[in-house]
Structure 1
Amino acid sequence: MTSEWCGWRDATERALYGAEEGFYTRPGGPGPAGHFRTSVHASPLYAGAVAALLLRVDAALGHPEELALVDVGAGRGELLTGVLAALPAEVAGRVGAYAVERAARPEGLDPRIGWLGELPAAGSVTGLLFANEWLDNVPVDVVETGADGVARRVLVRADGAERLGDPVDGADAEWLRRWWTPPLEAAEGAAWPVGEPGLRAEIGRPRDEAWARAVGSLRAGLAVAADYAHEQGDRPLFGTLTGFRDGREVRPVPDGSCDITAHVALDACAGPSARRTTQRAALRALGVDGRRPPLALAAGDPAAYVRALGAAGSAAELTDPAGLGGFGWLLEPVGGRCAALFEEWDG
């Protein structure tokens, strides 16, 4: 790792995806499941819900000869493995499953799953593209107001030490003005944040561009991003950049020792036809219900009651509005046929 000062975007790129030392890409690493719990790892109900969504996409597209399922930020392929297992055999036989992941293909992965180091080519697939907690790991730069009240880029070293650099300008300054609501009245033409020293923001423009490329890989179908998110008008005053290691939140240090993540401005990513909702609303629309089974079942079939109770507990975790259920879902149809799929998903 270099000891030179650089922006958080470059530092995070090396720390997460460097060929030898990257948190996600180093040979023999445990993958995301070894460090934090996502919806994919919380319960097979999540893969079942994605399978249910894929079936709806399949019907809307008229049951194409090959139905693509593209998992962006696939980890070790857990979601794709679960979805293929949950699908009816007839549909699974038509599915082209593709994991997009910068880490090497794990040993023993289902041979039906293709492993891609980058997104499919523009307009090359028809089906469902699903990105679970991918955008929060697309590296971004951080800005902070200095003592002079001017927004400056935050520079960082591999040991996590920070200092302020040059004022933010150009397209990044425009993005901040457009998408990060100023907490204080800003001067005409000034970059956010202006005023109180110490206010911070993450520049989400690289995520907007990454999501546009992901959506653009579809010829027809539906693209979905599920992630930690915030909305304009409710941006955090001090940003959200943080780290995770071994199941615990830690100080973000870009040396390859921890995950580095920040919440996503999904409203900035959204295209003109996109819809935003919560994970709670989306999963409920896909049949994930956290209600307890009726007690009468316990008397008639105790084993079934115990299984149903366990499923209800898992569903409750996935849909908890104070936890995973509060995640944002961004749904973007491509080609028109999938536009009505989520009309009933009221966040």
Structure 2
Amino acid sequence: MENGQQGAPRGWRAATEEALYGPAGFYRRPEGPAGHFRTSVHASPLFAGAVAELLCRVDAALGEPAELAFVDMAAGRGELVSRVLQVLPEKVALRVRAYAVEKAEPPAGLDHRIEWRAEPPTGASGLLFANEWLDNVPLEVVETAADGTARLVLVREDGTETLDTAPLDQATTDWLRRWWPLPPEPGLRAEVGRPRDAAWAAAVRTLERGLAVAVDYAHTRASRPPFGTLTGFREGRGTTPVPDGSCDITAHVALDACATAAGARLLTQRAALRALGVTAGRPPLALASQDPAAYVRALAGAGEAAELTARGGLGDFGWLVEPVRLPVDGLLVDVPDHEEQ
């Protein structure tokens, strides 16, 4: 913290911004996000394979352009974009221009085909993929006070909270009314997703043509959590969110509020990955005697697929899918709304 701000109460948005992305912020640490939590990217190479399949579908829908963009938003240390390049068919990989968008510095030994950027490129045609990006876009937290009105939650560097005495601004009030109405019961909370809505809209606008996909912990207006979802992560474990740079600070995403176009669709990761060929079916037992090594590999793959699509886990992640001036036939927007029971 800068001098004069040490311990001063302020909104969670400003506190989180500095704690995560400031000079001594959590995401500047050398171990990177993978040192503290496990995403779908780290859980299995099947996830990168599914994203590569989606990129190939986008390529076909675009008519196999001379240059095909793959934009990895919040790229971490470049794990997803690197793996996607490794598994793409050669005829597609030769035309791909890969971008890793991340505020931290690039890791040593990064694939020379990957352009490391602080912002996504403009005018690109291809796939923009944001895996667990929006949950780390800082936002304000509000709480119903004793008098039944919603107030901004202020926080000190040590995590101590108080409620602001001033009324909420009109833009925040309007957003809450539309997307997360707060009952007058004291102690109920909401997380104001306006910065995430704006960040996603800006990212989608960078595409000239293609598909934009956001994957994250999510909820919709019909099922907002009454006390919010703000939490911290450190070394693989959930912890109290403290904005001092020692832990990740995250909150689930109101993905329905982020959608920018009428053609956008919300899916579960379970449904999306199944549509991209990731299934958790066990290999036939006959394979165990015919080719034991292949059986073991297939069994391991089934276990990884099960983790990626599990109910109550990664399979419940939300996928916000938005086509941009792109025919949608054959893409994820054709996934049926219902899921297998």
> What is the TM-score with the length of structure 2 in the denominator?
0.95
Partner of 2:297: 307
Q: Which amino acid aligns with 1:96?
A: R
Task: Say whether the 8 Å CA contact 1:136–1:262 is kept in structure 2.
Answer: yes
Conserved in 1, the CA contact under 8 Å of 2:99 and 2:120? no
Aligned to 1:251: 240
Shift of 1:345: 1.3
* Alpha-carbon distance, 1:340 to partner: 5.2
Cα pair distance change 1:32/1:48, threshold 3 Å: same
Counterpart-to-counterpart distance in 1, 2:64 and 2:327: 12
Distance 1:339 1:74 in 2: 28
Deviations 1:143-171 (A, max 9, x none): 00111111000000111000000222211
TM-superposed deviation, 1:194 = 4.1
What residue is the counterpart of 2:84 in the other structure?
A: 83
2:223 corresponds to which residue?
234
Q: CA deviation at 1:125?
A: 0.4
SS where residue 175 of structure 2 aligns? Answer: helix
From 302, 311, 314, the counterpart of 1:324? 314
Partners of 1:257 and 1:215 in 2: CA distance: 31
| Structure 1 residue aligned with 2:36 | 35
State the distance in 1 between where 2:301 and 2:28 align.
33
Q: 1:325 aligns to what SS in structure 2?
A: helix
1:10 maps to 14
Q: Is 1:284 the counterpart of 2:281 in the alignment?
A: no
Q: Indicate yes or no: 2:58 matched with 1:57.
A: yes
**Structure 1's 308 and 340: CA in aligned 2 closer, same or farther, altered over 3 A?**
closer
* 1:102 equivalent in structure 2: 103
Q: Does 1:167 align with 2:184?
A: no
AA in 1 matched with 2:41? V
The residue number in structure 2 matching 1:111 is 112
Q: Contact (CA 8 Å) 1:175, 1:205: kept in 2 or not?
A: yes
Shift of 1:342: 2.2
**1:204 equivalent in structure 2:** 193
Give the AA of the match of 2:263. Answer: S
Contact 1:221 1:338 (C-alpha < 8 Å) held by counterparts:
no
Q: How far does residue 89 in structure 1 lie from its aligned partner after superposition?
A: 1.4
**Is residue 263 from structure 1 mapped to residue 262 from structure 2 by the alignment?**
no
How many residue pairs are counted as aligned between the two chains?
A: 331
Q: Counterparts of 1:243 and 1:55 in 2: how far apart (Å)?
A: 36
| Distance (Å, rounded) in 2 between the aligned partners of 1:169 and 1:23 | 30
Q: Percent identity?
A: 68
Measured in 1, the distance between the counterparts of 2:254 and 2:163 equals 23
Distance 1:40 1:31 in 2: 14
Secondary structure at the counterpart of residue 163 of structure 2: strand
Name the CA distance, whole Å, in 2 between partners of 1:120 and 1:11.
28
Q: Distance in 2 between matches of 1:17 and 1:155?
A: 19
State the one-letter code of the partner of 2:27: Y
The secondary structure found in structure 1 opposite 2:208 is strand
**CA distance in structure 2 between the partners assigned to 1:88 and 1:286 by the alignment:** 15
Distance 1:343 1:140 in 2: 29
> d(CA) in 2 for partners of 1:241 and 1:134?
15
Aligned twin of 2:126: 127
Distance in 2 (CA, whole Å) between partners of 1:60 and 1:95 is: 15
Taking the aligned partners of 1:66 and 1:7, their CA distance within structure 2 comes to 43
Alpha-carbon separation, structure 2, partners of 1:263 and 1:346: 24
**After the TM superposition, which segments of 4 or more aligned residues of structure 1 sit over 6 Å from their partners?**
none
Q: Is the 8 A contact 1:221 1:335 kept in 2?
A: yes
Question: What is the Cα deviation at residue 25 of structure 1?
Answer: 2.0
Aligned partner of 2:285 among 276, 295, 316 = 295
Aligned-residue offset at 1:240? 0.3
CA deviation after TM superposition for structure 1 residue 276, in Å? 0.8
Displacement after TM superposition at 1:339 (Å): 5.9
1:157-214 Cα deviation digits (max 9, x unpaired): 111000000222211110000001x3xxxxxxxxxx2411100000001000000001
Q: Give the superposition deviation at 1:257.
A: 0.3
The answer to whether the 8 Å contact 2:61/2:326 transfers is no
Match of 1:167, SS? coil
- 1:294–1:339 CA distance, 2 compared to 1 (3 A): closer
The answer to whether the Cα contact below 8 Å between 1:130 and 1:225 also exists between their aligned partners in 2 is: yes
Structure 2 match to 1:137:
136
- 1:228, 1:328 within 8 Å by CA — same for their partners in 2? yes
CA contact (8 A) 1:156 1:163 kept: yes
Q: Which residue matches 1:189?
A: none
Q: Which amino acid aligns with 2:304?
A: S
Q: Contact 2:216/2:317 (CA < 8 Å) preserved in 1?
A: yes
